[in-house]
Structure 1
Amino acid sequence: MGKPYIRKARMQDVKAVHKLLMECSGQGLLLPRPLNQLYGHLREFYVVDPDDGGPIQGCCALAIVWDGLAEVRSLAVDERLRGQGFGRKLVEACLSESLTLGIYKVFTLTYQDSFFRKMGFAEVSKDVLPQKVWADCINCPKFPECDEIAMQIDL
């Protein structure tokens, strides 16, 4: 049996990513994402591969939102791996890709503000993210009463 590692998502990971996101959503850790949306955004995702043939054990996506602005979203780690640094590694993979793409502002909307604060993100007003509000948030069942915390990091 190998050691779990971070890699880009593959087509066969989509259903496992969806299952993991739904489990974490049920725990109140993040908002759910529809399965059909995951297929369309597969290239944005990194996953934790258990290296034993089992389903992925974590995921995170980097979504390009606007010129010079990206979002870290859909961060989820299987309960059995939490506290082992995989969430941090997934976010670091997204931030590294953001730098590679020349995107130096990255934000997240989260319920896990202490985790992101430890990673260098700082709380910001949602008003500084207008493109986000009209792109995704308008379709959210919680809009306009969003209870997630907006955080940003400048790379």
Structure 2
Amino acid sequence: MGQATNNDTPRIRAAQASDAPAVAALVNSFAARNIMLPRSEEQVLAALDRFVIAEIDGELVGCGSLIALTPALAEIRSLAVAVGQQGSGLGGVIVSALLVMARELGYDQVCALTLRPAFFERQGFEIVDRWGLTPKIWQECVFCPKFHHCDETAMLMNISEPAAAGHDPRPLSWRVNGGLPVFRLLPTT
């Protein structure tokens, strides 16, 4: 009694269209408590090829997605683990699957904005200035009602081989021009 059986072992797999309602319901159960942003079934379906699912006995108990922000930077989004499975290590297993996906797709870095920075630090991420994640800020954060009072921590992991000069956790775009971001001026009309 109390020992895990094979039926208790989570299976990680690619998401299918039939998973969209359960994924949206799981994510939105946390969004209702302001823990993450909501996702509609349509949003889940639009990113279906970048979602992984954790299931036990055919029941969805976790999910996560990997969304491209730039050709070199992807974001872990919609990482959710059912309340009954939290603390079991399942979140780390999902993150590991997403990092494998990111490497296979050729990304150099993976980021996340989170209310649980200690969890991501245990996975190997480092805290960075959220303004350094400009693609994330201007693609999604700008539409968030908490934009001006964001309580999330920006996390970043370099997944490509580090440069010979050493490890630098800042986004790649911040590693030029003396550490300042490079902005391109657009011609005025």
Decide: shared fold, TM above 0.5.
Answer: yes
Q: Which has the larger displacement, 20-29 or 133-142?
A: 20-29
Partner of 1:11: 17
Select 2:154's aligned residue among 138, 145, 150. Answer: 150
| Aligned equivalents of 2:84, 2:139: Cα separation in 1 | 34
Find the structure with the greater CA-based Rg.
2
Aligned Cα RMSD in Å?
1.4
| Aligned equivalents of 1:79, 1:67: Cα separation in 2 | 34
Shift of 1:18: 0.7
| Aligned equivalents of 1:36, 1:153: Cα separation in 2 | 29
Shift of 1:103: 0.7
Select 1:53's aligned residue among 49, 58, 69. Answer: 58
Task: Give the TM-score of the pair, scaled to structure 2.
Answer: 0.76
Q: Which residue identity is paired with 1:49?
A: E
Partner of 2:119: 115
Q: Which residue identity is paired with 1:132?
A: K
Partner of 2:98: 94
Q: Which has the larger displacement, 128-137 or 109-118?
A: 128-137
Q: How many residues align?
A: 153
Shift of 1:117: 0.7
Higher relative contact order (CA 8 A, sep 6+): 1
Q: Which residue identity is paired with 1:47?
A: I
Structure 2, unmatched stretches of 5+, are 1-5, 160-189
Task: Give the TM-score of the pair, scaled to structure 1.
Answer: 0.92
